[in-house]
Amino acid sequence: MTVRITVYRKGATSTEALESTADAQAALAEEGTVLWADLVGRSAQSDELLREVFGFHPLAIEDVYKELHRPKVEDYDRYLYLILRGVSDGSRLDDVRTEELDLFLGSNFVVTHHSTPLPSIDHVVDQVSRSPDAMAKGPVFLAHALIDRLVDGFLPLADRLMIEVDRLEAATLAGEDELARIVVLKGSIHRLRRLAASQRDVVARLARAEFDEIPDEARPFFRDVHEHLAQLAETLEHERDELDSVFDAFHSLSAHRMNEIMKVLTLISTIMLPLTFLTGVYGMNFKNMPEREWEFGYPALWGVMLTLSLFMVLFFRRRRWL
């Protein structure tokens, strides 16, 4: 549980880190300052900041500490409250993990909250510590930097998905069984596409400057983020369609392969059918059968049956029927 409070004072050449809630409240009252409070997890200090220092609505605070919200934006007159999602550390293609980011945007402050560390937020923290430009332009541009970096975090994952879909297509056409992997990736792509579409709608409202907190000069920046999300959603849609084609190809190849197997087995059965019929009618009980008097006839028969069974198993495995 950490609380990072950063303040930019008008005319300064760098930002300043604050330690206490009282310092944050004092800085918030100063003219020309921009305050950013980044809260990770929940603590007594984060509760105090949300309730006492910033005075957020109780329903908004309740949503902050809940997970699994859909992306949205709400106007609380004094500030905007946004819920977005970003890629968490350790996300894999078969286990895409996203973390909720709660963002409050006011006239001179930005407050962010997330339950676990987010690489995109850490990147902006480092950026602000090196150069105060994002905060010097105002809180709305700091919010843009955070949202833009959050969206950019999805792009490497989308690229990896494209590479994996191409690999699955080649493997499927080569006759490999990748059905389980295809099903898992279909689920990952579906979740990411739905998330990208929801966040695209939220950013679109910011790009249209529907809210007083978004000045006209900031609209092109949010339009750029909206275009990135639209491109991401389009890419995921394309990958979903391509994976559907791979899924259909797998079933077509499986059906074709099964037809080939049934063809060979039908031929074998057709050849054996008259032989089986004749042995069934006469019962192989002829009087003159030399092997009946042979001392090793019975074990020899077992040897032939076992050898024939082993040969057929190896034959089926070689043909990849087993």
DSSP string, 114-182: ESS--HHHHHHHHHHHH--HHHHT-HHHHHHHHHHHHHHTTHHHHHHHHHHHHHHHHHHHTT---HHHH
**pLDDT at position 177, please?**
80
Would you state the pLDDT for residue 201?
A: 92
222 within some domain: no
**What DSSP letter does each residue of 296-319 carry, written as one string?**
THHHHHHHHHHHHHHHHHHHHHHT
**Residue numbers of the chain with a pLDDT score lower than 70:** 1, 68, 89-91, 275, 277-278, 281-287, 292, 321-322
CB atoms within 10 A of CB 232: 23
In a domain? residue 25: yes
The reply to whether the predicted model has a pTM over 0.85 is no
- In sequence order, which residues have a C-beta less than 8 Å from that of residue 151 and are 6 or more positions away? 199, 203, 225, 228, 229, 232
Q: How many domains does the chain have?
A: 2
299 domain residue, yes or no = yes
* Residue in 42, 200, 38 with CA at minimum distance from that of residue 118: 38
pLDDT one-digit tens code per residue, 313-322: 788 778 776 6
Residue 37 in domain: yes
Q: Which two tokens stand for residue 197?
A: 């579409």
Q: Which letter does DSSP use for residue 28 in this model?
A: H
Query: Domain ends where: 107, 134, 161?
Result: 134
71 lies in some domain: yes
Domain finish residue from 74, 103, 134? 134
Q: Are 191 and 87 a contacting pair, CB within 8 Å?
A: no
Which uninterrupted H or E stretch holds 251?
helix 219-282
Give per-residue pLDDT as tens, 116-143.
Answer: 888 888 899 899 888 888 898 999 999 9
The residue out of 134, 153, 168 marking a domain boundary is: 134
Chain centre distance of CA 284: 66
Q: What does the pLDDT read at residue 79?
A: 93
Q: Is there a contact between 15 and 27 (Cβ–Cβ < 8 Å)?
A: no
Decide if 231 is inside a domain. no
- Print burial letters for 286-310: b (CB count within 10 Å at least 16), e (below 16): eeeeeeeeeeeeeeeeeeeeeeeee
pLDDT of residue 69: 75
**Structural domain containing residue 290:** 257-318
Residue 72 covered by a domain = yes
**Residue 219: inside a domain:** no
User: Which CATH number does the domain housing residue 20 bear?
Assistant: 3.30.460.20
Cα distance between residue 319 and residue 218, in whole Å? 64
What pLDDT was estimated at residue 168?
86
